[in-house]
Each structure stands twice: as structure tokens, then as C-alpha cells.
Amino acid sequence: MHAFNRNSVNDVADAIVVGGSFAGHSAAIQLARARKAVLLVDAQRPRNRFAAAAHGFLGHDGRAPAAIMQDASAQLLAYPTAAIVHATVQSVQRDGDLFTLTLEDGSTRQARRLVLATGLTDTLPAIDGMLERWGRTVLHCPYCHGYEVAGQPLGIIANHPMSAHQASLIPDWGPSTYFTQGVFEPNVEETALLTRRGVTIERTPVVALLGAAPALDAVLLADGRTVAVHAVFTAPRTSMASPLAAQLGCAFADGPTGPCITVDAMGLTSVPGVYAAGDAITPMHNATLAAASGVLAGVAAHQSLMRL
């Protein structure tokens, strides 16, 4: 076991995990349970901060993400080889066998392995009223939030070529209207499926969301008509929330809404010693999937340390 002074900024960790949401905590606790010196660096700006509750996450259904992470931090710190720093990592470089991270205050931390659980940034369609409703009545995942808005008129605002697929799911939660925005027209097969599912297809673009936010009463169309909906689903465009993977030279793949860090089955990136987990590695975004990928990355990082 590496003798690790978690109160020292000069001690070298076995691993640093960057990002403290579901994936990051899951990776860090695997390393701590393996009695490795692990430092979790958390900027405390998780992607899920706009959501009032997490749903479908076993044992935590309906709890606020921040409350789940508060418990996770306390559990992580119960291990003597684990430490948490609340800071933003500005840059990273490789120095021989070590990774050196520079934090926002100019201080540095070093580790033998690196796990990136830095997440994504969402860019919503440029429609008036979207931002103030994000995570409440403007939603991205019906499995995460559909039950809470079920039984009401629902909309799907197209934002990428797979939006028609998203629209085909939503009728299981409520009567649905697919707003193509005049751009993302369903093909013949998609149109047949949407029709069979009872989805109304509206081709006039949505220009504003109406009602006392975060509530939603209707959408305003470009031709002046309004359509009553009480929640809308959309798939935001995504980008990396941190520059670290790019700075390290990690490979990326194109996903349906934005780039993903390329990893193997255990979370190893194209850069030796660097692992990644969470929303940044997959187009499927879900608390359970993020936590599971964090477990894999933490286990893989530990096993790679055995070979030093």
C-alpha cells in the first residue's frame, strides 16, 4: 500500500480521478478499496446540476444528484488512502511516468495513472425559453425523467438526425408531437413508425416556449400558432466539458450529438495510463451507465498499477 498523505499537495498519488459525479466517484472508490492512493479532483459543476432528482438509479430513485454525491464523498473519504480536492484542472502534461495536473490556483498534483470523468457540456437549441426550463420541463432522456411528466401533452424538438427515433419513444409517456424544425424530416420508415405510434408531425419550427418557467404551457410556432405541451424532449449538442483529453492526445470518435473519447472495454483511452468514464465516452447518457463505466475504469487503472 502506497503511504499517502492526503493532506499534502506534494505527495504523488497512484491515481487521480478528474470529475466527481457518478463516474468519478465510482472509479475512485474502486481504487481506494484496492488500497491505492487516489485523489478525486472535483470542480463541482456536474452536468446533472440542473435536474432536481435522479431517476432509475438503483437505490437512489428520486434523490437529488447532489445529495447522492454528498453521501458518495463521505463514503470515499472513509478510506484512508483517498482524498478529494474541489478545484478545476486547467491543464495536464505527462512527465515521464507521471501525470502532472495544474489546478486553477496554480498548484499542481501528480499521479501515476489518470481517470478522466470530466463529462460533457450541453448546447440547447437556440429557442427562447429553453435554458430556464432545462432539467425540469425541457428534458433529454425519457427513461430518466419521462415518468414525472407522463400523461400530459409532450413535444420532441428535433436537434439532430436521430431525433425521429427519440420521438418514436415518447408516446409511452404521453400524447406526442414531433417538431421537425423544418430540418430533421423523418424518412419513410420513421414516418410510418411515428404514425403507428400516434405521433403528430409538425414541420413549422418552434420559436419560443410559453408559460411561467420552469413550467411549460405551450410552444409558439414561427407562423404564430401555439401547440399545448407541458414538457419537451430534445437532444442537446454535446462537447467536452474539459480540455484534458485533447491536451493528452486522446483519440475521439464522432457520436450522434458530439465527440466521445475513444476507450476500450475497460475504459483505457488511446494514451497509456489514461482511462476515461462517464458521459464523455458514450452517446448513451444515464447515471447507472456512468457509474458502471467508472467502476470499470477504476478497476482497470488499479490492475495496470500492479505491473509497475
pLDDT in tens, 159-205: 999 999 999 999 999 999 999 999 999 999 999 999 999 999 999 99
Residues 107 and 158 in one domain: no
pLDDT of residue 240: 97
pLDDT in tens, 100-140: 999 999 999 999 999 999 999 999 999 999 999 999 999 99
Residues 138 and 223 in one domain: yes
pLDDT in tens, 232-266: 999 999 999 999 999 999 999 999 999 999 999 99
Is pLDDT at 59 greater than 90 in this prediction? yes
Residues 144 and 293 in one domain: no
- Structural domain contains residue 111: yes
Q: Which of 233, 255, 270 is a domain's end point?
A: 233
- Structural domain contains residue 280: yes
Q: Which of 233, 267, 283 is a domain's end point?
A: 233
Q: Per the structure, how many domains does the chain have?
A: 2
- Structural domain contains residue 1: no
Q: Which of 208, 233, 258 is a domain's end point?
A: 233
Task: Categorize the per-residue pLDDT at 4 as very low, low, confident or very high, splitting at 50, 70 and 90.
Answer: low
Task: Categorize the per-residue pLDDT at 308 as very low, low, confident or very high, splitting at 50, 70 and 90.
Answer: confident
- Structural domain contains residue 2: no
Residues 19 and 155 in one domain: no
- Structural domain contains residue 138: yes
Residues 281 and 134 in one domain: no
Average pLDDT for the chain: 95
Residues 137 and 74 in one domain: no
Is pLDDT at 10 greater than 90 in this prediction? no
Residues 148 and 272 in one domain: no
Is pLDDT at 1 greater than 90 in this prediction? no
Residues 258 and 190 in one domain: no
Which domain covers residue 185, as residue numbers?
Answer: 125-233
Residues 212 and 169 in one domain: yes
Residues 136 and 221 in one domain: yes
- Structural domain contains residue 28: yes
Residues 132 and 55 in one domain: no
- Structural domain contains residue 141: yes
- Structural domain contains residue 7: no
What's 292's domain CATH number? Answer: 3.50.50.60
> Using H for helix, E for strand and C for coil, what is the string for the chain?
CCCCCCCCCCCCEEEEEECCCHHHHHHHHHHHHCCCCEEEEECCCCHHHHCCCCCCCCCCCCCCHHHHHHHHHHHHHCCCCEEEEECCEEEEEEECCEEEEEECCCCEEEEEEEEECCCEEEECCCCECCHHHECCCEECCHHHHHHHHCCCCEEEECCCCCHHHHHHHHHHCCCEEEECCCCCCCCHHHHHHHHHCCCEEECCCEEEEECCCCCCCEEEECCCCEEECCEEECCCEEEECCCHHHHHCCCEEECCCCEEECCCCCCECCCCCEEECCHHHCCCCCHHHHHHHHHHHHHHHHHHHCCC
Residues 115 and 241 in one domain: yes
Residue 3, burial from CB neighbour count under 10 angstroms (0-12, 13-18, 19+): exposed
